[in-house]
Chain A
Amino acid sequence: MDYKYIEQLVERYFQCETTLQEEQILLNFFAQEEAEVPTELRQYQPIFAALEPKEKLSADFTDRILALTEGAPRVKARTVSLSERMRPLLRAAAIVAVILAFGQAIHFSTNHANQQADDINYANYKDTYDDPSMAYDQMEDALQLMREGFSQARQADSLVSVLTPSTDTTLVK
């Protein structure tokens, strides 16, 4: 068999003239059993055999890195579930609010009805005087008192309106 091509490739490999494809051909060629390789090329075998990528990271490395980095999808899922997790709470709060509103409304309406019932209960009212003329005098006195009060207030009011311009002038001075 003619190994000239391989020999040529080896030569060019050490001159840095081979392409990636040609280097792959060399690697494949030297990856076969030692006995299969012709004697004149066998000396190069260890060199190409050493170029096989063997070292690998431990199997749990990927999981470890994903836990340290793309823990992000988990965070993303958590933000989605957060609103979902809040939903039952909100629902419960809404129910409580509705019940309270209802209770308040019922409480208010029954109270209101009671008050109205009190207002129109004339049975509680009692007459204070037996003699109508006495009642009339009392009434007149009370009204007289009110009239005096009003007239006093009006007097004070008119006094203020009379005094105001003079105070203004003193201020100007």
Chain B
Amino acid sequence: MKEISFRADVLPLKDMLFRLALRITLNRAEAEDVVQETMIRVWNRREQWDKIDSIEAFTTSICRNLALDRQKRMDNQSLTLDTEEHDAPDTSVASNPERMAESSDRVELVKRLMDELPEKQRSCMQLRDIEGRSYKEIAQMMNINEQQVKVNIFRARQTIKQRFFETEKYGL
């Protein structure tokens, strides 16, 4: 087994982890924090690296768990401030100037639909369709089996297709 180097094997995952954390937390600053904490946690457990099957899966799973914690904490905070839950994802996308400036409104719509999916579907689709990971890798990263990964991706793609065409048709 090859020796794991932080610089060569862990650090290059940073943008992928950032996009996953962003997909879960829907907040740039939180996502960046999550990636930083992930990197430090992985670094602190460097004595165990040689016992780990896949450092990529290990790192990604830490990142996802941290992002889920943040999201939970943020949800709790926003619940006490306003009772309308569905406003949260919309405002975060709209308040993201980078995304607003991006190409057409229809691409924006698809991204928003993706952000509205349940977290498991969102994360699975993110890892497969955006990061190009295999079902096996995603299963390791998410600690679920391959079949569940496939089901989640199937549902995610179907929901996006359906909602996208509905919106296009009726202008919801």
Contact = CB atoms under 8 A, between A and B. Distances in A.
Per DSSP, chain B at the interface is: helix
B6 A70 contact: yes
Interface stretch (A50-58, A87-95, A122-130, A137-145): A50-58
Contacts of A58: 32
A40 to B, nearest CB: 14
A163 interface: no
Interface stretch (A15-23, A75-83, A113-121, A146-154): A15-23
Contacts of A51: 129-130
B158 interface: yes
Contacts of B35: 57, 61
B153 A49 contact: no
Given A49-B107, A50-B111, A62-B14, A55 B19 contact: yes
Contact of A55 (B18, B114, B150): B18
A16 B132 contact: no
Contacts of A55: 15, 18-19, 22, 28, 98
Classify chain A's interface size.
20 to 34
B154 A15 contact: yes
A16, A43, A56: most-surrounded residue (chain B CB, <10 A) = A16
Contact of A53 (B14, B19, B43, B168): B19
A58 B15 CA distance: 9
Nearest to A53: B130
A62 B11 CA distance: 7
B164 A47 contact: yes
Contacts of B16: 53
B35, B107, B131: most-surrounded residue (chain A CB, <10 A) = B107
Given A46-B110, A49-B107, A70-B6, A14 B161 contact: yes
B39, B128, B158: most-surrounded residue (chain A CB, <10 A) = B39
A69 interface: yes
A13 B160 CA distance: 12
B157 A56 contact: no
A166 to B, nearest CB: 80
Nearest to A44: B161
Given A16-B154, A23-B128, A46-B109, 9 more contacts: A16-B157, A46-B164, A61-B32, A62-B14, A65-B11, A65-B39, A65-B40, A69-B39, A70-B43
Interface of A: 13-16, 20, 23-24, 43, 46-47, 49-58, 61-62, 64-66, 68-70
10 contacts: A14-B157, A16-B153, A47-B110, A53-B15, A58-B32, A62-B11, A66-B11, A68-B40, A69-B6, A69-B43
